[in-house]
Chain A
Amino acid sequence: MTEKTRTEHLLNSVQMAHFVSHGAIRLDAVVPEELNDEAMRVLPAGVPPVPYGTPVVGAYPEGSFVRRLLAVPRIAGAVRSLVGPGPNIDHHAVHVRGPREGEAQPLHADAIIDVRPDAFDVQLMYYPHAVTLEMGGTLSVPGSHLRRTNESDTGRYQNLRGQDRLVCPAGTVVFLHHGLWHGGRRNDSDTPRYMFKIRFNPTVRQRLLWDTSDLTDPRVAAALDTDFPWYEQATGRLERYQRVLMWRALTGDDTFDLDHWVTRVSNRPQEATT
């Protein structure tokens, strides 16, 4: 993976805005078939754990399966765009939903409540085989990542309008913001469902790390303004407010706004300097 190759596959601003509004970005069938086949031989045996905070180069030897997975150009470009160069590995895990195991995970966000306004972790979720609706693909709730809740305290919520019940082709990778509500669904098929997860911790400031050549594209604001059918009428407005703050942190542009939501309630003319 050369620097040029990695740069050519960076996310663009519209994709980053999609990540900020949805809390996830999905790359369908991005992993080559031969690597997917290898994954189905490697993952059932598990991937040895590494200490929290291990750099990628220390976690996965050169030439190893995981290292080659992370070198897939579009995966490398997305990781670079989201968390920058040299991220650390928080942890990784092979998740298996057994055939007809009868239970789903409660809706949750991983780790503990994490309200950092100017940094975020990213979780890579890799599906080496095709996932059907019956196989218990990951449930996720688009736009839930900025809600301040702790782990499985959201377990009471079984279904929300607009939820995403993952169905995907082999080799699909989804990148999740650390706060996104998700859970493994009940596998009602006769086939085990595999997913390999890696959580990345950034080691650099997450600002303008992507391909910013389209930063002023109107589709950026449109993506940031996405509505989701599970939002309460009033709270949906606060979601826009929170996204504006996140986009400002990501770009360094403290004047950015959507429909005046942040500007209006920040206006303190009596404190203006003359």
Chain B
Amino acid sequence: MTPSTPAPAPAPATPSAGAVRQRVLVLYLSTSALDSHVLGWSLYDGTGRTAPTTGDSEEPPYATGVAALRDGWRLIQASQLVPPYPGHEYDVSFLKHEFFFEQLVPTAGAH
């Protein structure tokens, strides 16, 4: 295969009046119920105003998934309930109860 010049990266979108950016919150809960308590949390900030990262906080932003809803976060994805693979019923692996939330935040350029 011949090396080729990579395509130029698309120009960053310029915020326009009324533009919004997405903030994403991931909560890991104790059971599959959205009102069970938070075990783990991650934040990703599309506005660039903050830079959350690994190991940056000790206490979760919300006690339960429902508490995030009440604060205005919109649930956009919940992990499915998947039966264990036969023969692996006792294995432990990734956290099972993962919930993705979003906020749409006006950017600095928005009026």
Residues on A facing B (Cβ under 8 Å) = 102-107, 139, 146-149, 153-161, 163, 165, 183, 185-186, 229-235, 238-239, 241-242, 265
Contact A242 B31 (CB under 8 A): no
Task: Give, as a whole number of angstroms, the nearest-CB distance from B66 to chain A.
Answer: 17
In the bound assembly, the distance between CA atoms of A233 and B91 in angstroms comes to: 15
Q: Which residues of B contact A241 (CB under 8 A)?
A: 90
For B91, give the chain A residue with the smallest CB separation.
A148
Q: Which residues of B contact A165 (CB under 8 A)?
A: 55, 58
How many residues belonging to B are interface residues under a CB distance threshold of 8 Å?
29
What are the interface flags for B72-104 relative to A under an 8 Å C-beta threshold, 1 for contact and 0 otherwise? 000000000000000000111111110000000
Contact A230 B39 (CB under 8 A): yes
What are the interface flags for B2-41 relative to A under an 8 Å C-beta threshold, 1 for contact and 0 otherwise? 0000000000000000000000001011110000101111
Known contacts A147-B92, A158-B55, A159-B58; 9 additional CB pairs below 8 A are: A104-B56, A139-B54, A149-B94, A157-B54, A161-B38, A161-B39, A230-B39, A232-B96, A234-B31
Residues on B facing A (Cβ under 8 Å) = 26, 28-31, 36, 38-43, 51-58, 60, 90-97
Q: Which residues of B contact A186 (CB under 8 A)?
A: 53-56
Q: Which residues of B contact A156 (CB under 8 A)?
A: 26, 42
Contact B39 A231 (CB under 8 A): yes
Q: Which residues of B contact A265 (CB under 8 A)?
A: 90
- 5 nearest A-B residue pairs (beta carbon): A139-B55, A158-B42, A104-B54, A160-B40, A185-B55
For A136, give the chain B residue with the smallest CB separation.
B55
Contact B60 A147 (CB under 8 A): no
8 CB < 8 A contacts A-B? A153-B94, A155-B54, A156-B26, A158-B41, A158-B52, A159-B40, A161-B38, A233-B30
In the bound assembly, the distance between CA atoms of A239 and B91 in angstroms comes to: 8
In the bound assembly, the distance between CA atoms of A154 and B30 in angstroms comes to: 17
Contact B92 A106 (CB under 8 A): no
Contact A157 B42 (CB under 8 A): yes
Contact A158 B53 (CB under 8 A): yes
Q: Which residues of B contact A229 (CB under 8 A)?
A: 39
Contact B39 A160 (CB under 8 A): yes
Contact A242 B92 (CB under 8 A): yes
Contact A154 B92 (CB under 8 A): no
In the bound assembly, the distance between CA atoms of A107 and B95 in angstroms comes to: 13
Interface of A is mostly: loop
Task: Give, as a whole number of angstroms, the nearest-CB distance from B90 to chain A.
Answer: 5
In the bound assembly, the distance between CA atoms of A161 and B58 in angstroms comes to: 7
In the bound assembly, the distance between CA atoms of A146 and B91 in angstroms comes to: 9
In the bound assembly, the distance between CA atoms of A104 and B51 in angstroms comes to: 11
In the bound assembly, the distance between CA atoms of A232 and B39 in angstroms comes to: 7
Contact A159 B55 (CB under 8 A): yes
**With contact pairs A230-B40, A231-B39, A233-B30 given, residues A159 and B57 touching in the complex (Cβ less than 8 Å):** yes
Contact A148 B41 (CB under 8 A): no
Residue of A105, A161, A233, A239 touching B92 (CB-CB under 8 A): A239
Contact B40 A157 (CB under 8 A): yes
Contact B54 A158 (CB under 8 A): yes
In the bound assembly, the distance between CA atoms of A155 and B94 in angstroms comes to: 11
Q: Which residues of A contact B42 (CB under 8 A)?
A: 156-159
Contact A148 B93 (CB under 8 A): yes
In the bound assembly, the distance between CA atoms of A175 and B54 in angstroms comes to: 21
Task: Give, as a whole number of angstroms, the nearest-CB distance from A95 to chain B.
Answer: 15
Residue of B26, B51, B92 touching A235 (CB-CB under 8 A): B92
Q: Which residues of A contact B93 (CB under 8 A)?
A: 147-149
Q: Which residues of A contact B53 (CB under 8 A)?
A: 103-104, 158, 186
